[in-house]
Structures are given as structure tokens and as C-alpha cells.
Amino acid sequence: MPDTAILLEVLVIVVKVSVICGILFGLPLPLTWLERKVAGHIQVRLGPWRVGPHGVLQPFADMVKLLIKEDIVPDRADKFLFKLAPLLSMIPAFLVFVAIPFGEKFAIPFIGNEITLYISDMNVGILYILAIGGLGIYGMILGGWASNSKYSLLGGLRSSAQMISYEVSMSFAAIGVVMLTDSLNLLEMVRSQSGSFLDWNIFYLPVGPVWFVIFMISALAEINRIPFDLPEDEGTLAAGFHTEYSGMRFSFFMLAEYVAMVTIAVLTVVMFLGGWNPPLDISIFHLVPPIFWFLGKVVLFIYFFMWLRFTLPRYRYDQLMAIGWKVLIPLSLVTILVTGLMKI
Amino acid sequence: MEKLFFLMFAAVAIASGLAVVTVRNPVHSALALIVCLIQVAALFVLLRSPFLAAVQIFIYVGAVMVLFLFVVLILDMRKAVLQAFPPVKKRFVVGVILVLSAQMVAFVFLTPMGLGPAQGWEPTVESIGRVLFTKYLFPFEVVSVILLAALVAAIVIAKERQ
């Protein structure tokens, strides 16, 4: 019979995991609404308007539509892999959140128990996130192959080539941050950036901004957003790897994509923008709970990604490869050298 | 509890390892290999080496297997599925299997391996890095030179075909 302390610990972990899963499953609702609103206003129109005030109920209407749509499995598709692929792309996106910290310990009022705002404080946090985050690619490549369609297969191949190429420079950017903060642990990373905004890694002159730009560009390519959304280029590939998917299976891919976007926003905040540290070390800023600073920065980045989507055109495939291999990787190698010299 | 987890991961690893060589469809067998590699990563976690586990997933599952799949997808699938295993003499196959299993048995019984994680040495990132760059510096450099040579060779072969 295990004692109550262990049982309580297990219970806390289960509760935390279910809370995070619930939030992540719910995320596409506000995010799709926000994305369409941002699109609308950038293109000088209203965006969703009819369903509910300012169209806030539109995502629910979309959800109902996706749920009751016919679930089509193409003839001569590999049925097993076709059904497995959406899960393969969704599960890694969720798994990443095991290692992501949202704040330090804090005491629950009235009970007096301390609770941590992360599920697991891993020593190899950043490596874990990069490793697991990279697994989402199997959903795309296997989904594309299993559909038994030219467009899907080409989309899957493209996305795998793109993600493999940009994973290199993204990992280099992570190495850069590890060199700046002397730790692979995400909590340590945030702690080392405490103080005013000048202590944040993005302002670690001269290499901080360079790492930030490298990370941003390769992360955009990793999560397949414009200007790098080649895998689902409508003009040449119909809809890329998810051409043949409909209904709920399609929405799993979409869910994975949105969760990946949030992951990247969170990672950027943790790695470069001081996590939950307020921008200035003055007492009035410390009155605001740290989690609000954290979420505020994350929302800012999510908005930034949406803003980019409706501002930039899409790159051609050869340009995409040239940027990855001929610009980002040499640049990050040089920056690693400079960072190393600075650290001596 | 830990034993239970070990048995689970080991069983799945062996089953998926068998599936790699018995399944007909190359894509399915690549998938089985991915499952097998993930189980091995889980075993590393049980041995208190989270770094090795993360690297295992990062390199083998995240990069090597993607490239494998990439090549397999370009192949002509119907032909590959229909074809039997490559026509090799049975005697040769049996010989290779015997040599490999003899090696494996020798490795298991002759090396001083414990059942649990090594005592007194915490395999953290720092300690692995320190050992790699001091005690094992020479083998480390040799391995990197070999990798570089393989890389150059691959590029040369690819260029020649054009």
C-alpha cells in the first residue's frame, strides 16, 4: 500500500496533465476566431460577424460542421496508416508540454500546499522539446503516403524535406541559447534572464538578436506557416498532405498545427524574452502575477505569427531550401563560434 | 514497479523489432523500427540517462528514420511489396545470423554489466561531455572524421549521378 504522499503527488500530476490537455484541446476555438478576425481587419473587412457578437461563436459552428462531416477514407488507401497519421501528428504536439514551465512554484491559497507550474522539471528540457516536437513530421509524411494520392504524397515529401532542413538551424539556435545560459533546463534558462529586459537573451549583444532571428525563421518553417507553408501550397498541391482528409481527422491535423504554433510562441518567450520575468525590475511590475507576464508575451507572439501570415507572400520551394541551407546554417555556425569566444 | 515498466518496454521493443523484418510493406516495417527505437529510448530513461534517451529520439527517430522513410516513399512500392526477400543462399544467411548471435552472447556475458544504473556516476550532460572531451577524446575525433568522410562520399556519389 503506497503512502498518501505519493498518491497525492500522482494525483497532482494527473490533474495538471488533464488541465493542460483540456486547455490545448480548447485552444483552436479562440485561435481560429482570432486568426480570421486578424485576417479580416488586415484586409479591411470585418471577418466573422454573423454567429454571436463579433462572430465569437463562429468556431463552435465550425466545430459542429467538422464533427458531422462525412469521414472519407480514400479507396486503396492504407487504411491503418491513414487513420493513425492524424494521431501521430497530434500526440507529439501535446507531449511537448510535459517539459514546458509556465512559472515558478506558487502556494495555493487556503490549503497552503505548494504547487509547481510545470509537469516535469527535466534536466534535458530543451533537448526533449526539440526531439519530441520533431516527431510530428511522421503524421504528415505517413498521412501523405497513406492517402494514395499524388498531391498528398508530394506534400508529405515536401514537408519532410522542409522540416529536416530547418530542424538543423532551429537546433543550432537552441544550442546558442544553451551556450548563453549554461543550461539545458528551461527553468534555469528563465532564471538566468531575471532582472530588467536588458538581461533577456534577445538583448545579449551582439549574438542574442542573431539567435532570435535564426530561431524565428526556422521555427516558422517548422510549423509550416506562411511564408514557409509549402507543404500545403494550394496553388500547386491542392492542400498538401491532408488533401484527402475530411471531418475530424482533418481537424486533428489543424489542432496539431495550432498547438505547435503555441509551443513555438512559448519556447520563444522562455528562450529569448525572459519567460515570466517582468520587463522592468520595479516593484509595481512585481505586483502582477508572473503567469500574466508570461501569457501576455505568448499572446503577443501568436498575434505576430498571424500578422505575418496575412502580410508576407509564400516562398518558392528552391528559395526555401536556399534560405535554410545556404543562409541560416552557415550563419548559425558563425554565430556559435562568436558565442563561444564571448563565453571564454 | 520499475520492473513492470522494463518488461513492458522490452516486450514491445522485441515485438516491434520482429515486425521490422517480418512485415511485407516497407513503410510498415519502418514504422515498426520507429516504435522499437522509442522503446529503447524509454529503457534509457529507466537507466537514469535522460540525455541518452532524448538524443536517441532526436537523432534516430527524428532524423535518421525520416530520411529512411523519405527514400522508401520514393521507391516503387508495389514492386517492392511483391518482391520476396533478396535471393541470397540460405547457408549464407544462417552463417551471418550465427556469427551475430555469438557476438551478442559474448557481449552479454563477457562485459561487466550490472542490472541497474551504474552506481556513483550520474550520467548528466556535463559528465558525459567532460568524459567525451577528456578520456575519450581520441575515439570521439576518429568517429567525427569517419562521419565527415561518409558525408563527403555521399555528396560525391550523389553528384556523379547527375
Q: What is the pLDDT of residues A272-294, one digit of tens each?
A: 888 888 888 777 877 788 888 88
Cβ–Cβ of A134/B58 closer than 8 Å?
yes
* Number of other CB atoms surrounding residue B41 within 10 Å: 22
By the 10 Å C-beta count (0-12 exposed, 13-18 middle, 19+ buried), B77 is classed as middle
Alpha-carbon gap, residue A135 to A130, rounded angstroms? 9
In a domain, B94, yes or no: no
Mean pLDDT of A184-204: 83
Q: Please give the residue of chain A at the shortest CA–CA distance from B59.
A: A131
Residues B56 and B134 occupy one common structural domain: no
Question: Which of B68, B86, B104 delimits the end of a domain?
Answer: B86
Residues B60 and B130 occupy one common structural domain: no
Residues A33 and A146 occupy one common structural domain: no
Return the pLDDT at B13: 93
Q: Quick check: B83 contacting A, CB < 8 Å? A: no
pTM score: 0.85
Alpha-carbon gap, residue A228 to A331, rounded angstroms? 19
Residues A206 and A324 occupy one common structural domain: yes
B81 pLDDT band, cuts 50/70/90, is: low
Residues A34 and A98 occupy one common structural domain: no
In a domain, A175, yes or no: yes
In a domain, A194, yes or no: yes
- CA-closest candidate to residue B43, choices B57, B53, B33: B53
Return the pLDDT at B91: 84
Residues B77 and B136 occupy one common structural domain: no
Residues B135 and B78 occupy one common structural domain: no
| Residue A145 pLDDT > 70 | yes
* Number of other CB atoms surrounding residue B106 within 10 Å: 10
Cβ proximity of A221 and A314 under 8 Å = no
For chain B, give me the number of helices (H) and strands (E)?
8, 0
Cβ–Cβ of B125/A135 closer than 8 Å?
no
Cβ–Cβ of B66/A157 closer than 8 Å?
no
Cβ–Cβ of A124/B34 closer than 8 Å?
no
Which grid cell sits at B4?
513492470
Residues A54 and A141 occupy one common structural domain: no
Residues A44 and A178 occupy one common structural domain: no
Q: How does strand A106-107 pair with strand A114-115?
A: antiparallel
Residues A257 and A291 occupy one common structural domain: yes
Return the pLDDT at B16: 93
Question: In angstroms, how far is CA A202 from the centroid of its own chain?
Answer: 19
| Residue A161 pLDDT > 90 | no
**Could you give the maximum distance between any two Cα atoms of chain A, in Å?**
65
Mean pLDDT of A106-127: 75
Q: Please give the residue of chain A at the shortest CA–CA distance from B64.
A: A164
Residues A160 and A42 occupy one common structural domain: no
In a domain, A318, yes or no: yes
In a domain, B91, yes or no: no
Angle at CA B33, nearest 5°, toward B28 and B34?
95
pLDDT tens-digit map of A22-32? 988 888 888 88
A104 pLDDT band, cuts 50/70/90, is: confident
Return the pLDDT at B100: 93
Q: Nearest-CA distance from A163 to chain B in Å?
A: 10
Q: Quick check: A157 contacting B, CB < 8 Å? A: yes
Alpha-carbon gap, residue A117 to A289, rounded angstroms? 13
Among B52, B59, B77, B125, which would you mutate to test the A interface (most chain A Cβ atoms within 10 Å of its Cβ)? Answer: B125
For residue B147, what are the domain limits? 122-162
Q: Quick check: A130 contacting B, CB < 8 Å? A: yes
In a domain, A193, yes or no: yes
For residue A48, what are the domain limits? 1-68
Residues B52 and B126 occupy one common structural domain: no
Q: Quick check: A166 contacting B, CB < 8 Å? A: no
Which residues in chain B are closer than 8 Å to A10, comparing Cβ atoms? none
What is the distance in angstroms between the CA of the first residue and the CA of the last residue of chain B? 56
In a domain, A116, yes or no: no
In a domain, B53, yes or no: yes
Mean pLDDT of A208-231: 85
How many domains does the structure of chain B reveal? 2
Q: Quick check: A90 contacting B, CB < 8 Å? A: no
The answer to whether ipTM exceeds 0.90 is no
Residues B24 and B71 occupy one common structural domain: yes
Return the pLDDT at B119: 61
Residues A61 and A179 occupy one common structural domain: no
Alpha-carbon gap, residue A168 to A155, rounded angstroms? 20
Least reliable range by pLDDT among A253-262, B5-14, B16-25, B122-131: B122-131
| Residue B97 pLDDT > 60 | yes
Question: Which of B42, B66, B86 delimits the end of a domain?
Answer: B86
Return the pLDDT at A253: 85
A213 pLDDT band, cuts 50/70/90, is: very high
Residue corresponding to grid cell 522539471: A121
Q: Quick check: B69 contacting A, CB < 8 Å? A: yes
Q: Quick check: A145 contacting B, CB < 8 Å? A: yes
Q: Quick check: A141 contacting B, CB < 8 Å? A: yes
In a domain, B105, yes or no: no
Residues B22 and B69 occupy one common structural domain: yes
Cβ–Cβ of B66/A138 closer than 8 Å?
yes
Q: Quick check: A122 contacting B, CB < 8 Å? A: yes
Residues B80 and B10 occupy one common structural domain: yes
In a domain, A115, yes or no: no
In a domain, B110, yes or no: no
Phi, psi of A214 (to 5 degrees): -60, -45
Residues B6 and B52 occupy one common structural domain: yes
Residue corresponding to grid cell 497532482: A12
The overall average pLDDT reported for chain A is 84
Cβ–Cβ of A135/B62 closer than 8 Å?
yes
Question: Which of B58, B86, B114 delimits the end of a domain?
Answer: B86
Residues A92 and A129 occupy one common structural domain: yes
Residue corresponding to grid cell 479562440: A30
| Residue A1 pLDDT > 60 | no
A107 pLDDT band, cuts 50/70/90, is: low
Cβ–Cβ of A81/B62 closer than 8 Å?
no
Residues A49 and A85 occupy one common structural domain: no
pLDDT tens-digit map of A306-321? 888 888 888 888 888 8
What letter would DSSP give residue A143?
H
Return the pLDDT at B17: 92
- A122 vs B50, B58, B67: nearest CB: B50
Highest mean pLDDT among A70-74, A112-116, A183-187 belongs to: A183-187
Among B28, B44, B56, B69, which would you mutate to test the A interface (most chain A Cβ atoms within 10 Å of its Cβ)? Answer: B69
| Residue A143 pLDDT > 90 | no
| Residue A122 pLDDT > 90 | no
| Residue A249 pLDDT > 60 | yes
By the 10 Å C-beta count (0-12 exposed, 13-18 middle, 19+ buried), A68 is classed as exposed
How many domains does the structure of chain A reveal? 2
Which residues in chain B are closer than 8 Å to A156, comparing Cβ atoms? 73
Mean pLDDT of A96-113: 76
Share of chain A above pLDDT 70, in %: 96
Radius of gyration of chain A (CA): 21
- B61 vs A135, A160, A164: nearest CB: A135
In a domain, A114, yes or no: no
Residues A64 and A82 occupy one common structural domain: no
Return the pLDDT at A183: 84
Which residues in chain A are closer than 8 Å to B55, comparing Cβ atoms? 127, 131
- B51 vs A124, A141, A157: nearest CB: A124
Return the pLDDT at B87: 66
In a domain, A199, yes or no: yes
In a domain, B114, yes or no: no
- CA-closest candidate to residue A62, choices A29, A16, A90: A29
In a domain, B140, yes or no: yes
- CA-closest candidate to residue A185, choices A264, A256, A275, A298: A275
Cβ–Cβ of A127/B58 closer than 8 Å?
yes
The more confident residue out of B34 and A240 is B34
Alpha-carbon gap, residue A15 to A66, rounded angstroms? 29
Q: Quick check: B50 contacting A, CB < 8 Å? A: yes
Residues A331 and A236 occupy one common structural domain: yes
Residues B1 and B56 occupy one common structural domain: yes
Mean pLDDT of B5-23: 91
- CATH code where residue B76 lies: 1.20.120.1200
- CA-closest candidate to residue A29, choices A37, A40, A18, A19: A37
Least reliable range by pLDDT among A128-137, B12-21, B28-37, B105-114: B105-114
